[in-house]
Amino acid sequence: MGAKNTPTERSVSFLIRGMDCAEEIATLREQLAALDGLKSLNFDLLQRRMTVELDPGGTSPEGVLAAVARTGMTAEPWEERGTEEGSTDSGRLRRAWTTAASGFLLALGFSTHVAGAGWRAAIGGEEGTGAPLVARCAFLASTVLGAWFVAPKAWLALRRARLDMNLLMCVAILGAIGIGEWFEAATVAFLFAVSLALESWSIGRARKAIAALMTLSPSRARVLGPGNNEELVDAASVAVGAFVVVKPGEKFPLDGRIVRGRTTVNQAPITGESVPVLKEEGSEVFAGTVNEESAVEVRTVKPFADSTLSQIAKMVGEAHARRSPSEQWVERFARIYTPTVMAAAVLLAVVPPLLGGLWEKWFYQALVLLVIACPCALVIATPVSVVAALAAAARQGVLVKGGAYLEAPARLVAIALDKTGTLTEGRPRVSAVVPRAGHDEAELLAIAAAVEMRSTHPLARAIVEHAAQKGIRPVPATDFQMLPGKGAHARIEGVDHWLGSHRYLDERGQESEEIHRELEALASSGSSVVVVGREEHICGYVALADRLRDGAAASIQKLRRAGIERVVMLSGDNRGTAERVAREAGIDEVRAELLPQDKVQAIEELVAEHGRVAMVGDGVNDAPALARSSLGIAMGAAGTDAALETADVALMGDDLSHVSWLIGHSRRTVRVIRQNVIVSLAVKAVFFVLAFAGFASLWGAIAADMGVSLLVVLNALRLLQPSRTSED
């Protein structure tokens, strides 16, 4: 739903009834371009939504409504769209019945004509001299019904002196009637009506694919009220901070955090993960995911309209407005192609008769060229492919911001990967415990955990968590004191202890050559080392490291098999840590100890060398590098508003293999688009040659065009069910 507009905010959205293809969008752009104070004009074909931004004091929303009405379409404020789906189905049903009636009357006229004059005469052959009256009446009725939805738009196009496909078809129909080709006229009208119905169906299918994302989220929520009473209410009415109970087998209605209970959750609708994920108290859950094991109590953190699922559906819907390079090429080509073929039709109608040819024959062939001039199949070939691919990617947990970014992965040469949170889990874990001076491992961990209990540092939390996993309960420490950038002090059972970095140990003057060698060896292996000591001796060290994500090494190999020539890791961490992670992941090139501006420079160097470079990061800390790359990919974006807004592509889960899947999906999409465009142009080229040779027929041309329209739509809709492998 669109937001309410204030007097100072002049961005208004409208529902446009009758906007089903790029042709209508072009008509609206032309009609509204002359409005006073129009700043911008954006269209969402899937939702039939038009958004205009007007200067204060310029054209009013009522003026926009009037301008839309002049195109033959109708507009209404977006907020009032309560029955859009019902009215859409009703309009589609009327079109279907009208088209069916046209087809029936065409068949009736053809049968009558065959019975009276023979089948060759019925299709414009040599037998007979014309259609019987009954057949002509049937053909005429078929023509009227077939052109019922086309003629008003053709008249408006004529008044604007704009050659659109509706006008071209009507000229061809009237021309055929003018030379007595009743069967041809009815066939063109009927088949063009079928073609438009197919186009409307294909857009409707893609629209439903987007709408299906929202149906993943339940409309009702079980809210805990006073006295722990459960009440089923509309999910959209649940306030942030409310407590919701979700039982096994049910979907989570809103984004939230578990406050009671433990379960596993199927997150495939959001993140694309095939394996259920364990969720405990404090874990984040998303609307539309499925609770699999036991009942849990969830505290909501976002309203229904702002849930991660709602944002995904909204962004996929808006993504179609960001046209891909192929869509832009087709639009530019159609602007040249249509008038060129029109000019060729005029020449074909005039030149051969002047050279002694039969006027009627070449006028008829010119009408064939008018049919060929209709760019219908060509125009729908690309956008339907793009929309289907966008919807399929969203279902895999890969949110692509638009067609402009859908084709980019297919052309990538190099990929730069952030280390922390992308290749690694993003949180340190204890990798080694080295006791000294007579202490054992358990005692050393108890001391370290006691000192770190009150610290919020990530290393401190990792040590406390590791001690708890070992079953160690530290004695409470007193007199805790943080030493920023160095470590911490605390008293344990009356004895002062300290904990800190190698640098702090050196400052205290307690470092020996042996201890220095041991600490340098741990650091060179890629670990962060915490030293634990007291006044009289060093108790030992705790080494911590960020662990490589499961499957990260396999994901890097998939990238190489997908054709990526160069994989580079960018990290702000020390070189030892960065090189350890790179070795484990199978990455050859490492750039370590980088500041944010250094990462941007590294991306610029890669772009200069390879041209097409993607950056994969967390979408927040890596924002400058993501923006500078050819394609910015945010990883683990589920629930993160900043990540969803920052990158061109957002991987909702933490699975790096989705990058190679995206590359394969992008290449498959590009192949489908190319197939559709080539087939569309090839059929038109064949009939272009046949028309100039004098062998083409109107009904054959429109039948071929309709067949190609159906073919490209079905080919495009294959992308709704993409392969799960990058090699497809």
φ, ψ of residue 125 to 5 degrees: the values are: -80, -160
Nearest to 530 by CA among 478, 438, 463: 463
Distance of CA 659 to the CA centre of its chain: 14
Distances (CA, A) of 282 to 209, 278, 298, 370: 33, 12, 9, 66
Distances (CA, A) of 87 to 3, 45, 589: 22, 16, 58
Burial environment of residue 204 by CB neighbours within 10 A (0 to 12, 13 to 18, 19 or more): middle
Q: What angle do CA 114, 117, 123 make, to 5 degrees?
A: 60
Task: Give yes or no: 418 in active site.
Answer: yes
Distances (CA, A) of 187 to 97, 137, 712: 17, 14, 21
For every residue of 170-236, DSSP letters joined together read HHHHHHHHHTT-HHHHHHHHHHHHHHHHHHHHHHHHHHHHHHHHHHTS-SEEEEE-GGG-EEEEEGG
Q: Residue written as tokens 């310029």?
A: 58
Q: What angle do CA 5, 403, 605 make, to 5 degrees?
A: 110
Is the separation of the CB atoms in 101 and 143 below 8 Å?
no
Is the separation of the CB atoms in 577 and 527 below 8 Å?
yes
Distance of CA 381 to the CA centre of its chain: 18
In this structure, what DSSP letter does residue 422 have?
A: I
Distance of CA 301 to the CA centre of its chain: 25
Q: Residue written as tokens 């020539």?
A: 565
Amino acid type, 412: L
Is the separation of the CB atoms in 717 and 387 below 8 Å?
no
Q: Which token pair is 410? A: 């297919």
How far apart CA 351 and CA 319 sit, in angstroms, is 48
**What 3-state DSSP class applies to 46?**
coil
Distance of CA 649 to the CA centre of its chain: 8
**What 3-state DSSP class applies to 108?**
helix
| b/e sequence 646-661, b meaning 16+ C-beta within 10 Å | bbbbbbbbbbbbbbbb
**Residue from 418, 573, 618, 622 carrying the catalytic annotation:** 418
Is the separation of the CB atoms in 131 and 139 below 8 Å?
yes
Is the separation of the CB atoms in 655 and 271 below 8 Å?
yes
Amino acid type, 616: V
How far apart CA 495 and CA 151 sit, in angstroms, is 94
Q: Which token pair is 650? A: 């957002």
For every residue of 455-493, DSSP letters joined together read ---HHHHHHHHHHHHTT--PPPPEEEEEETTTEEEEEET
Q: How far apart are the first and last CA of the chain?
A: 38
Can you name the residues that pair with 41 across neighbouring β-strands? 52
Is the separation of the CB atoms in 249 and 222 below 8 Å?
no
| b/e sequence 93-111, b meaning 16+ C-beta within 10 Å | eebeebbebbbebbebbbe
Q: Which residues are catalytic?
A: 418
